[in-house]
Structure formats: C-alpha cells, structure tokens
Amino acid sequence: MYQSHNADIPEDLFLCWRDGCLSLLDKENVNKRGLSVDIEHRQGEQRSWPIAKQGALAQALGRKTKTVVDATAGWGQDSLAMFRMGYEVLCIERSPIMVELLADGFSRLTNLAWMQQLNVTHPQLLTGNAIEILGQLTVQPDCIYLDPMFPPKRKKSALAKKSIMVLRDLVGDDTDKEQLFATAIKIADKRVVVKSPDYAEPLGGKPDESFQGKLLRYDVYLTQNRV
C-alpha cells in the first residue's frame, strides 16, 4: 500500500498501488479498483499518433496552435486528448494528490510500446498554483486551456461521475477561476480556451468563438482582440 501523508487528502480517501498503477480509493470500498489516470485512447479514437485534429476540442484549439498549457489538469483526460492530437502539452495541477496520480499515469504512458517505438515524450507536469506558474513561464504558449470547477446546476441534479466528485473534494469549486482567466488572457500568445458546462455563463464574457460538445462547450477568447 502507498499512503500519502499530505494533509490535503480527505480522511476517507487514500492512495494505493493496485493493478500496476497508483489509485485513489475510498475507505468504504477498499475492494474496488479505485480511481486512476486513464492513459488509453478514448472510445472510437484512432489507434495512431498523432490522431486527426477533429471535434469541438480541436476546433477550439485552432489549426495554428502547437503549444498548449492545460492550467487545470485534474485527471488529465483533456491533456492526454490534446497530446494524442500532436500538441505539445504542459499540465499544471495544484492538488498534490492529483499530481501524484498524474505523474503515475504519465509514467505508465511512457512505458507503452507505441510511445517507445515513436520516441514520444509525455506531457510536462508542473505542481502549484496556475496563476503564479503562468506568470513565470519563460516560453509563451500558443494557447492556455482552462477547465475550472463550476458549481452544480442544481442541488437535485443527477450525480456527477465519481471522478469529478472526488476532484471537487480535492480542489473545491475553483473560486479563483476569474483571476486565472485574467492571467491566462495576458500570457497566451493566440488564444484562451475555456471548457464549461452548457448551462454556465461564459467565464470571460462573450467569447470570440464557441464550439458545442455533449453537455458542454468550449469558449474561445482570441488574445489579439484584447487590449
């Protein structure tokens, strides 16, 4: 067993090595697999690298984008999707627990046969407050990607996925997301992309473009249009 001593982890959760990966388990369900960073291709995704840049996420990122900073990495699924599309991705995550899980996921990714055959490097991972880290970057990224926590639509809404519920327990509701957006719009060279649930108001006001996904949307703010 791997037990984290970080004070930020809720008492009912713990980290454990299980089935060859680091997993976050609930003490009431210790016999279950737990939650870990999924490094496999998404359902229906082509099994090659890089995959085609298509869908709402790719449209939002833009054809000229090459480098992306995912400032709210979470479980890393969007970071990995962008990585598989061939973007150079830098992940920022402030929860030490999520960083440990992400680091394990990226380590497992490196060991995959196709990664080694192509000599591909996994996304870079930085730990800390994205507002501070963005201001310290030495290379200006083309795009900064934000997927902050938004309050649930209503108290009686359908339960969110377990992974999202756990992430909310670890990082809260991202009450500083407006400040993060304000920082991102100053730092990004070409655009800031904000992923949000379809019911939420745009984080940065009216976007320059918006691309609809399933129950969510990607709002695009072009930095050239900002003073």
| Residues 6+ away with beta carbon under 8 Å from 33 | 18, 19, 23
For residues 105-125, average pLDDT: 93
Instruction: Check if the beta carbon of residue 171 is closer than 8 Å to that of residue 98.
Output: yes
CATH code for the domain of 60: 3.40.50.150
Specify if 118 maps to a domain.
yes
Domain, as residue range, for 54: 37-225
156 pLDDT above the threshold of 50: no
* Closest by CA position to 106, among listed 87, 92, 125: 125
Burial environment of residue 84 by CB neighbours within 10 A (0 to 12, 13 to 18, 19 or more)? buried
Q: How confident is the model over 159-200, as pLDDT tens digits?
A: 456 777 776 666 667 789 999 999 999 999 999 999 999 989
d(C-alpha 86, C-alpha 77), whole Å: 14
In the prediction, which pLDDT does 151 show? 72
Three-state secondary structure call for residue 79: helix
In the prediction, which pLDDT does 30 show? 58
In the prediction, which pLDDT does 179 show? 96
Specify if 18 maps to a domain.
no
- Here the tokens at position 76 are 């890393």
In the prediction, which pLDDT does 86 show? 94
Q: How confident is the model over 18-58, as pLDDT tens digits?
A: 888 999 887 766 556 788 999 987 776 667 789 889 999 99
Specify if 12 maps to a domain.
no
Specify if 99 maps to a domain.
yes
Specify if 103 maps to a domain.
yes
Specify if 27 maps to a domain.
no
96 pLDDT above the threshold of 80: yes
* Closest by CA position to 91, among listed 112, 108, 76, 105: 76
Maximum average pLDDT range among 47-51, 87-91, 164-168, 222-226:
87-91
Computed over every residue of the chain, the mean pLDDT equals: 86
Hey, what amino acid is at 36? S
In the prediction, which pLDDT does 46 show? 66
d(C-alpha 116, C-alpha 109), whole Å: 9
Question: Which uninterrupted H or E stretch holds 164?
Answer: helix 162-171
Count of alpha carbons within 13 angstroms of residue 170, beta-carbon side: 25
Domain count, the chain: 1
For residues 148-156, average pLDDT: 69
Specify if 17 maps to a domain.
no
In the prediction, which pLDDT does 190 show? 97
For residues 134-145, average pLDDT: 97
Question: Which uninterrupted H or E stretch holds 192?
Answer: strand 191-197
